[in-house]
């Protein structure tokens, strides 16, 4: 795909942020998203059977709750038909939201959103941020129990990473489980995310675990359905499976280093055959 096309795709995401979220222009939604748009992480109260009109119905409640909401795309990058937005937002809680009366509290947060672009419109979306933390601040939900009295159980932290972040796609858990200065020696973090977009039902099952001191290695198997382009291979609808290993060094209850690998050659063989 040409660089010009990649820039156009990023421009579509920029318009989505500027016109819909910052400009509160709901009519722009249909200009930027297909009516058959598929949202893997829908907005609260959004009807899944009516993705576009459902979004137009649910967004006004949020805009009324945080009328000065402003979203900033801190970084946009693209590959193929996918665009990733690393963003941040701020606003003031001035209206009722999800049953919580206005508190006047200043709110901030970060998000990671991934869009698939087809032609001149968005066709799919995955995204997550610190919304759970925001709801806890507002008192809408209770704080979760800690992972351990001193969060020093390395096995528990490693297992929580696999279940919450890999299986549940709960990116908000990253702040709880991963140190801000953590080193990814395999540089597979973003690759892992593209893997999950190509295999939306991708899940891992922990088969065994080896731990000594502050280091834990998890041996697991994975499975998923090839529903999006991966490594240049278009969606085939095939079920795939394989093995992966994840090694973490955990200090003070947080991951500070990680090494990841999976049977990528076997995966490619399965979807290409």
Tens digit of each residue's pLDDT (9 = 90 or more) over 70-91: 999 998 988 888 898 888 899 9
| Residues in a beta bridge with 90 | 70, 108
Question: In DSSP terms, which residues pair with 86 in a beta bridge?
Answer: 75, 112
The structure tokens listed for 237 are 């609808």
Residue 163: name the closest of 182, 150, 147 by CA: 147
Closest listed residue to residue 173, CA positions, set 181, 184, 161: 161
- What gap in Å lies between CA 143 and CA 185, rounded to an integer? 32
Tell me which range, 5-19, 115-129, 183-197, 211-225, is most confidently predicted by mean pLDDT. 5-19
All structural domains of the chain, each given as residue ranges with its CATH number in brackets, are 3-138 (3.10.450.50), 154-272 (3.10.450.50)
Look at residue 10 and give its three-state secondary structure: helix
C-alpha–C-alpha distance, residues 208 and 197, integer Å: 26
For residue 230 the two structure tokens come to 């991966």
Predicted confidence (pLDDT) at residue 236 exceeds the cutoff of 70:
yes
Confidence of residue 148 (pLDDT cuts 50, 70, 90): very low
Torsion-angle region of residue 252: left (phi > 0), alpha (psi -120 to 50) or beta? left
The candidate with the shortest Cα–Cα distance to 63, out of 21, 125, 16, is: 21
Q: Which run of H or E residues covers position 3?
A: helix 3-15
Cβ contact 247:239 at 8 Å: no
Q: How confident is the model at residue 50 (pLDDT cuts 50, 70, 90)?
A: low
């Amino acid at each position: 795909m040409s660089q010009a096309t990649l820039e156009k795709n990023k421009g579509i995401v920029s318009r989505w942020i500027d016109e819909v979220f910052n400009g509160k222009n709901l009519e722009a939604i249909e200009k930027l998203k297909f009516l058959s748009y598929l949202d893997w992480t829908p907005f609260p109260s959004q009807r899944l059977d009516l993705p576009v009109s459902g979004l137009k119905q649910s967004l006004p409640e949020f805009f009324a709750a945080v009328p000065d909401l402003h979203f900033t795309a801190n970084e946009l990058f693209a590959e193929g038909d996918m665009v990733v937005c690393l963003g941040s937002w701020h606003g003031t809680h001035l209206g009722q939201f999800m049953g919580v009366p206005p508190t006047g509290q200043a709110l901030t947060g970060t998000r990671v959103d991934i869009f698939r672009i087809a032609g001149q419109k968005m066709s799919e979306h995955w995204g997550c941020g610190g919304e759970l933390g925001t709801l806890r601040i507002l008192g809408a939900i209770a704080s979760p129990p800690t992972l351990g009295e001193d969060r020093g159980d390395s096995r528990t932290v490693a297992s929580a990473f696999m279940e919450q972040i890999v299986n549940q796609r709960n990116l908000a858990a990253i702040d709880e489980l991963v140190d801000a200065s953590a080193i990814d020696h395999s540089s597979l973090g973003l690759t892992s995310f593209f893997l999950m977009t190509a295999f939306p039902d991708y899940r891992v099952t922990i088969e065994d675990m080896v731990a000594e001191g502050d280091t834990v290695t998890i041996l697991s198997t994975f499975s998923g359905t090839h529903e999006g382009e991966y490594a240049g291979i278009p969606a085939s609808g095939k079920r795939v499976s394989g093995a992966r290993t994840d090694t973490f060094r955990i200090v003070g209850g947080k991951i500070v280093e990680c090494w990841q690998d999976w049977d990528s050659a076997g995966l490619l063989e399965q979807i290409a055959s």
